[in-house]
Amino acid sequence: MSNTALITGASAGIGEEFARVHAERGGGLVLVARREDRLQALANAIRGEHGVTVEVVAMDLTKSTAPKKLAARLEELGLEIDVLINNAGLGAHGEFHESPWSRQQQMLQLNIGALTELTHLLVQGMVERGRGRILNVGSTAGFLPGPLQAVYYASKAYVNSFSQAIANELQGSGVTVTALCPGPVATEFQEVADLGGVKGFDFAADARSVAEYGYRAMEKGRLVAVNDPKLRVLLEGILPFMPRRSLLWMSRKTMEKSG
């Protein structure tokens, strides 16, 4: 039985660590991201360390045509995907009305559009085969509104909700869906999203621990996985009872920059 995982955003951060975790378990890989040089370097390292098959597909998933092109490429390669890890994501810092629309549009296409379309394209084969696992990287940000990252937080709310809904629809099919909802993670995402100095990243987790936690949760077929116990208490035991304005104030404070 094959065990091939397709991982988006695989060139760095959590995506790279997901690839290493899957390869350590003997699974083959399809690595997807924009930067082909980074993907090739990772693929070569994983092949050398674990002797698994690794395919590289350099593709910009912020383009609306990319998911179908990726599915066509998989067909050309004759690959069936057993594990889909929708990890790629974009963020941006600042007030919505002052932010370039092009950045917000890319964020919506990648965080929501590509994730949803790839899931739709690949889950059908999983259901036909009676097996498969999907891991969507949401965020604890998806549990509350996010001033100074309004679109990012909203996009992750979509991921968290969408993942749980289709997990319910797929019960009994042999296909599971897990939403991984980490808090801040120390990756290059912080730099790309202009989050340097943001207070909420003072205690960021490392990418490897988050990937391992998420992968284990996926293996168990868990519905929602929050890696930080303190955040679980906050999300489940405190935030639901906070007045809305107080919640927004707290959320904004975590996204403000020091100094």
pLDDT value of position 196: 57
pLDDT, tens digit (0-9, with 9 covering 90-100), for 84-116: 999 999 998 999 999 999 999 999 999 999 999
What is the pTM for the complete model shown? 0.92
152 is catalytic: yes
For 23-40, the pLDDT digits (tens) are 999 999 999 999 999 999
Q: What letter does residue 188 receive in the DSSP assignment?
A: T
- More confident site: 76 or 256: 76
Residue 193, pLDDT above cutoff 80: no
Q: Does the structure show a pLDDT above 70 at 1?
A: no
Residue 259 has a pLDDT of 57
pLDDT in the model for residue 187: 62
Reply yes or no on whether the pLDDT at 188 is more than 90. Answer: no
What domains are there in the chain, each with its CATH number? 4-255 (3.40.50.720)
In sequence order, what are the residues at sequence separation of 6 or more whose Cβ sits closer than 8 angstroms to the Cβ of residue 227?
A: 180, 181, 182, 183, 205, 209, 210, 213, 214
Q: Measure Cα distances from 104 to 116, 117, 159 in Å.
A: 17, 18, 16
| Per annotation, catalytic residue among 152, 153, 213, 215 | 152
Q: What confidence tier does 158 reach under pLDDT thresholds 50, 70, 90?
A: very high
